[in-house]
Amino acid sequence: MALIKSISGIRGTIGGKAGEALTPVDVVKYAAAFGTWVLQTTQNNTIVIGRDARLSGEMVSKLVAATLQGLGINVIDLGLSTTPTVELAVPAKKAGGGIILTASHNPKQWNALKLLNDKGEFINDEEGKLVLEIGESENFEFEQVTKLGKYSTADYLKKHIKAITSLPLVDVEAIKAKNFRVVVDAVNSSGGIAVPMLLEALGVTQIEKLYCEPDGNFAHNPEPLPENLRDISRVLEKGKFDLGIVVDPDVDRLALICEDGSMFGEEYTLVAVADYIMKNKPGNTVSNLSSTRALRDVTEKAGGQYFASAVGEVNVVKMMKEQNAVIGGEGNGGIIYPELHYGRDALVGIALFLTHLAKANLSMTRLRASYPNYYISKNKIELTPEINVDEVLVQMQNRYKKQPVNTIDGVKIEFDKEWVHLRKSNTEPIIRIYAESDTNSTAEHLANKIIGDIKEIISEKA
């Protein structure tokens, strides 16, 4: 069992002892902490909540709503929704904050409270620490019976989709004219409702639904990585569809599959959408340190400037605002399009990508071949309590001090056009090791070399 308390929210497995997993006691404690923080900082007594379809979602949602009401906060419950939909609804409803009940790409035994400020954006490091402090001190006070908050429900998904189809760079007529044949894998979560609804609004009529029943019984590991997408790949291999669309449980990550069943590459979701945006609105781009160099290449070719942020959506958003980026996101398939809102949004990513594909008049494989080819080897090392991760990272920095090294988030080591990024995960007890090169074998060789170095350092300290 696990409970991870971080600035990005409270995440844990369901069941077990309070304080050691995400139990009802922990849900109430941190919902109360966040509600208290919202009241103290905004004097706004309205919070929007929404959830994905995971099995514990309804239970956790009821606990959160009742706790907030106990603080005198009015709750607007979007019910089964998506992360970007909640993000859009918070400012639209003039709320003081939002809580999304989702563990994103984690397996079904996990759930989490993801916390939004009054702009519908994830709270930052300083704000997250304050929420955790309130939670640890249990410094919250509940209201008298006559001052309990009100509970109401709302459906904001249609408004979200309308906002997307109204964007100047989303061309519904161009998409409709191509008569795309699309397969959708929504891992039996809320994307099973949202993605087909969006596609229909974009004029797509030939939609094959795969795992689109939002019952929380994830049909495969919900992280949209190639090894988890074999079923949709097999459907596309038969040659009857133009592309496949895959989203994670809360619909903030987008992976695409080519017409022959091959992977477009989750790193290239952002690259392709950015290419389309910059063809129409040149400007700067941002992704995190663990994302592909291809975005930099495409940006510079279009006359813009590329910037790399620390890993984490809040860090990408901060740099996007600082650099006035026209598009940004993360290499895990997360598209952030400021024209709509500052949050990863698979739905706006789908609409922009389909417009791009329609206007390029290319197949998925030919479009993918038009971009610089890089390969990222993504690896991880499980942590044990006795491992001092910070010390390991310092040792690695020293080992490669002759190479360009970036330490704003872990350690990123540059080797000409190759790189390796080592960092401690904010959401799981692991060290992530990402390596990129121009071939898969060299990227894996580089990653394995670094993993060997880390294991050597750990064994020396043992």
pLDDT classification of 462: cutoffs 50, 70, 90: low
Contact 160, 88 (CB under 8 A): yes
CA 392/CA 375 separation, integer angstroms: 26
201 and 350: one domain? Answer: yes
Question: Does residue 385 surpass a pLDDT of 80?
Answer: no
Q: Are residues 390 and 406 in the same domain?
A: yes
- We report the CATH number of the domain holding residue 196 as 3.40.120.10
Of the pLDDT bands very low, low, confident and very high (cuts 50, 70, 90), residue 355 is very high
Asked whether the predicted pLDDT for residue 397 surpasses 80, the reply is yes
Mean pLDDT of 275-282: 96
Start-to-end Cα distance in the chain: 26
Q: Give pLDDT, residue 243.
A: 98
What pLDDT is stored for residue 426 in this prediction?
67
Show the domain range for 271: 160-369
Q: Are residues 22 and 98 in the same domain?
A: yes
pLDDT of 389 reads: 84
Whether residues 149 and 16 share a domain: the answer is yes
Residue 329 pLDDT > 80: yes
Q: Please indicate, yes or no, whether residues 420 and 357 belong to a single structural domain of this protein.
A: no
User: What pLDDT score was predicted for residue 390?
Assistant: 86
Judge whether 248 and 222 are in contact, CB under 8 Å.
yes
Structure confidence by residue, pLDDT tens digits, 88-135: 999 999 999 999 999 999 999 999 999 999 999 999 999 999 999 999
Q: Average pLDDT over the chain, rounded to whole?
A: 95
Q: Is there a single domain that holds both residue 107 and residue 191?
A: no
Which of 124, 155, 186 marks a domain boundary?
A: 155
Q: Side by side, which strands form the sheet with 181-185?
A: 206-210, 181-185, 243-247, 254-257
Domain finish residue from 369, 404, 431: 369
Distance from C-alpha of 354 to C-alpha of 174, rounded to nearest angstrom: 9
pLDDT per residue as tens digits for the range 221-273:
999 988 999 999 999 999 999 999 999 999 999 999 999 999 999 999 999 99
Both tokens assigned to 227: 């090894």
- 369, 387, 405 — which closes off a domain? 369
Catalytic annotation, residues: 104
Burial class from Cβ neighbours inside 10 Å (0-12, 13-18, 19+) for residue 15 reads exposed
Both tokens assigned to 394: 């310092």
| Apex 224 CA angle, 118 and 372, nearest 5 | 95
Q: Specify whether 67 is located in the same domain as 136.
A: yes
Q: Which residue has the higher pLDDT, 199 or 384?
A: 199
pLDDT of residue 37: 97
Q: What is the pLDDT of residues 169-220, one digit of tens each?
A: 999 999 999 999 999 999 999 999 999 999 999 999 999 999 999 999 999 9
| Whether residue 172 sits in one domain with residue 139 | no
How many folded domains does the chain comprise? 3
The torsion angle over the Cα atoms of residues 249, 250, 252 and 254, rounded to 10 degrees, is 20
Q: Are residues 228 and 133 in the same domain?
A: no
Q: What's the CATH code of the domain at 390?
A: 3.30.310.50
Over pLDDT 70: what percentage of the chain? Answer: 99
Instruction: Judge if 123 and 46 occupy the same domain.
Output: yes
Which residues, including other chains, have CB under 8 Å from residue 146's CB and lie 6 or more apart? none
